[in-house]
Amino acid sequence: MPKIKPSKGAPYARILGVGGYRPTRVVPNEVILETIDSSDEWIRSRSGIQTRHWANDEETVAAMSVEASGKAVADAGIEAAQIGAVIVSTVSHFKQTPAVATEIADKLGTDKAAAFDISAGCAGFGYGLTLAKGMIVEGSAEYVLVIGVERLSDLTDLEDRATAFLFGDGAGAVVVGPSDVPAIGPTVWGSEGDKSETIKQTVPWTDFRNGTVERFPAITQEGQAVFRWAVFEMAKVAKEALDAAGITAEELDVFIPHQANERIIDSMVKTLKLPESVTVARDVRTTGNTSAASIPLAMERLLATGEAKSGDTALVIGFGAGLVYAATVVTLP
C-alpha cells in the first residue's frame, strides 16, 4: 500500500481580521407596531431590541457578504487571492444551488478558492469557524474566510406578535489564518434534534409552490421553550468551552453570545457568574437577531468602539434552530 504524506498545516489557527455590513435602512420598533398589537416598552423589556436593519433590493446576501468580507480581508492584511476557502453560513439565500459562497469568492477576487454554504442557523458562525480552523491546521488552506449573513426580513411574518420584532439583516465576516500559538480553542458543539420544532420554518417551500398555503414561509418559534433551553442548557455549554480552553470566567475579557435576546444574554451572564470586568456584547439592541451574522457583527462593533481590544480573550457561543449550538474561546484579532 502506498503511504500518504502527512499534511503540512500550521500548528494553530487564529482570527486575523473581522468586518461587518449593516443595511442602510434602520427600522425602529414603531414600524413593527404598525402590524402587531404591542408596544415599544413591551418589545424592549422582552428582547432589549430598539432598532434593527432591513436590507433593500440591492443589499442581497451576496452583496452584503462581499462588503463585510472586503473589510475583513483588509483588516487581516492579506490579499483576496490568498484566501483558500470561503465558508458561508446562511438560512436566507433563496437559491438552492449554486452556493452563494462561489459568487462571493469570485466577486472578492479569490484565486479559485474552495467555496460552500452551510445551514446551521444561529450557530452557523461557530460551525464555520471550527471548519476553518481544521482546514488551516490540516493544511488544505492557509487563509479561510468565514461569513455569517442573513436577510431575515424576507422570512419574517410581520403579523406574528412573537417574532415580528426580533429579526434583522446583515453580514459579518472573519479571516482565519495560521498562528504559532493557540488562539481558537476546542469547540463544544452539538445538536438536539428532538427539539427541532421549537424554531422552524412555518411550512416547506413546496407547500407555497403547490398552493397548499397562500402565506410565504416564515420563521416561527416557541419563545418560552427557546428561552429556557438557551439560558440553562447553553450556559452549561459555555462553561464546557471555558473548561476545554483551560481558562476560568475570571480570566475572560469578553463574552460574545449569539444576539438573540438581551434577557437571554443577561441570564447567561448571571448563570456563568461572569465578573463585572468582562465586556458583554449587546449588539442586539440596535441590530436585532441576525442569526448566523450576529456574532461576527457584535465582534466587529466591540473592536470598532474600543469596548474590546486586539488580543483579548473572548468566549463566543451560538445557538438556534435545529436545535444546534457551538461555543469556543478565541483571541480577538
Is the CB of residue 73 less than 8 Å from the CB of residue 83? yes
Could you tell me the three cell numbers for 287? 441590530
Q: Which of 29, 53, 93, 258 is catalytic?
A: 258
242 exposure class (CB count in 10 Å sphere: 0-12, 13-18, 19+): buried
Whole-angstrom CA distances from 119 to 123, 125, 128, 195, 246 are: 9, 10, 10, 17, 30
Of the candidates 29, 53, 93, 122, the residue annotated as catalytic is: 122
Q: For this structure, is 53 an active site residue?
A: no
Structural contact between residues 265 and 282, judged by C-beta atoms closer than 8 angstroms: yes
Q: Are 317 and 254 in contact (CB under 8 A)?
A: no
Measured CA to CA, the distance from residue 159 to residue 171 in angstroms comes to: 25
Q: Does residue 261 have an active-site annotation?
A: no
Grid cell, residue 1, equals 500500500
- Concatenating the DSSP letter of every residue in 212-228 gives S-SSPP-EEE-HHHHHH
Burial zone of 290 (CB within 10 Å; 0-12 exposed, 13-18 middle, 19+ buried)? buried
Integer Cα distance of 157 and 159 in angstroms: 5
Catalytic residue numbers read 122, 258, 289
